[in-house]
Amino acid sequence: MFGKSFTLFKLFGFKVRMDASWLIIAVLITWTLATGIFPRHFKNLPAAIYWWMGAAGALGLFFSIVFHEFFHSMVARRYGLPVEGITLFIFGGVSEMSEEPENAKTEFLMAVAGPLSSIALGIIFYGIAAAGAAADWPKPVQGIFGYLSYVNLLLAVFNLLPAFPLDGGRVLRSALWKWKGNLRRATRTAANIGSLFGTLLIILGVANVLFGNFVGGIWWFLIGMFLRFAAQSSYRQVLIRKALEGTPVGNIMIKNPVTVPPPLTIDELVGNYIYKYHFKMFPVVEDGKLVGCITTRQVKEVPREEWGFRKVGDIASHCSPANSIGPEYDAVKAMGLMSRTGNSRIMVVKNGQLMGIISSKDLLSYISLKMDLEGQEI
């Protein structure tokens, strides 16, 4: 779902990241507030004031989304779900969980935590705006807090719509899950409703553009497109998790993988292994003993003129939880590890011995085969 992201700060153990796409939305929000919303409600202010109000409103929205997602993450952690952090992306934010909730109760509590926190924050901002009005604060300051109150309440209401993967859609999924006892079917129903709702927003957006509301129409259109994609993508993720669930990587891994020795030069590694086998990672083995691994990322860090004399052993990484797992490791967790680390190939190790390699390609092939045999489609 995300492209390139970078970490902004760490809060109570959660990393808060920003996807590069959020920069686009921040600029658009600032522009919309500075040229449309604030001038319409606060007349005859200097243009510079409107732009400062727009920037402050965008920063306030940033804080509000982090606040919303933080409460999702806190509840998830409370119920034992690993949450690495929160990532802001083009249409909001998401808590990065590598596992699905274990039961409908956990899903429900996680889902409602976000909207309830937004309602609380909206009330707080409303109180600040009211206090500012009583104290005769400058109109721009009152306007910013009033806007943040409104946008948090709007965020809560929008997220409570029963359209998966919005929070309301997750509440609906939890209810269907509790009723039928089947997560896959509950997700399919909630995702179909989410996709339908996205289609309605797209139609609304097109209608607004045709009737002259170009900016508003574009916003509705883009949100609808995103919601349709997110609903379909979330359902596929559940199918993938269910296909892999309970399967140890030892059942999927490739045994007797290609390995390289430490004395090999980088030049020989590239010419005789990387270009030949097209792998981005190779285990490094010496006298039958696994000593680590080497990746194309490490190779790229070595200046080209040094490839002829630098050795694999000079730059190889030691075995770590980021690049090696046991054969009993759950395949779902292995896929999550690949996503978090960016490693498409992970070594399978037991008692210090290399048992095999598991790759994202192997996992996808297994999923495709299993779902084909079971008559399902991703």
Q: How large is the average pLDDT for residues 68-93?
A: 81
Measured CA to CA, the distance from residue 117 to residue 110 in angstroms comes to: 11
Q: How large is the average pLDDT for residues 117-144?
A: 95
Is the model's pLDDT at 127 over the cut of 90? yes
Per-residue confidence at 80, pLDDT binned at 50, 70, 90?
confident
Q: Measured over all CA atoms, what is the biggest interatomic distance in the chain, rounded to whole angstroms? A: 79
Is the model's pLDDT at 273 over the cut of 50? yes
Closest alpha carbon to 250 in 319, 353, 172:
353
pLDDT at 2: 45
Angle between helices 214-244 and 331-341 (to 10 degrees): 140
pLDDT tens for 7-52 read 788 877 778 888 777 788 888 889 989 998 899 999 989 999 999 9
pLDDT at 92: 66
Is the model's pLDDT at 91 over the cut of 70? no
* % of the chain exceeding 70 in pLDDT: 95
Closest alpha carbon to 76 in 127, 146, 125, 14:
14
Q: How large is the average pLDDT for residues 200-213?
A: 92
The residue type at 245: E
Per-residue confidence at 1, pLDDT binned at 50, 70, 90?
very low
The tokens of 260 are what? 């390289």
Per-residue confidence at 377, pLDDT binned at 50, 70, 90?
low
pLDDT at 26: 86
Measured CA to CA, the distance from residue 288 to residue 77 in angstroms comes to: 41
Closest alpha carbon to 16 in 61, 83, 82:
83
Domains in the chain: boundaries: 5-160, 249-373
pLDDT tens for 159-195 read 999 988 889 999 999 999 999 888 888 999 999 999 9
Count Cβ atoms below 10 Å from residue 272 Cβ, excluding itself: 13
Give the position of tokens 């492209």. Answer: 3
pLDDT tens for 62-78 read 999 989 989 998 998 88
- Residue 84 main-chain phi, psi, to 5 deg: -80, -35
Give the position of tokens 């999702």. Answer: 72
Give the position of tokens 């990532």. Answer: 87
Q: How large is the average pLDDT for residues 197-207?
A: 94
Closest alpha carbon to 118 in 55, 77, 72:
72
Ranked by mean pLDDT, the top range of 37-41, 117-121, 373-377 is 117-121
Q: What is the DSSP string of 269-330?
A: HIIIIIHHH--SEEEEEETTEEEEEEEHHHHHTS-GGGTTT-BHHHHPBPP-TTTEE-TTSB
Is the model's pLDDT at 157 over the cut of 60? yes
SS3 54: helix
- How many CA atoms are closer than 13 Å to the CA of 237, on its beta-carbon side? 17
Which whole-number Å values give the CA distances from 164 to 19, 154, 296, in the listed order? 22, 17, 39
The DSSP code for 46 is: -
CATH-assigned architecture of domain 249-373: Roll (3.10)
The residue ranking higher by pLDDT, 98 or 157, is 157
pLDDT at 323: 93
* % of the chain exceeding 90 in pLDDT: 61
**pLDDT, averaged across the chain:** 89
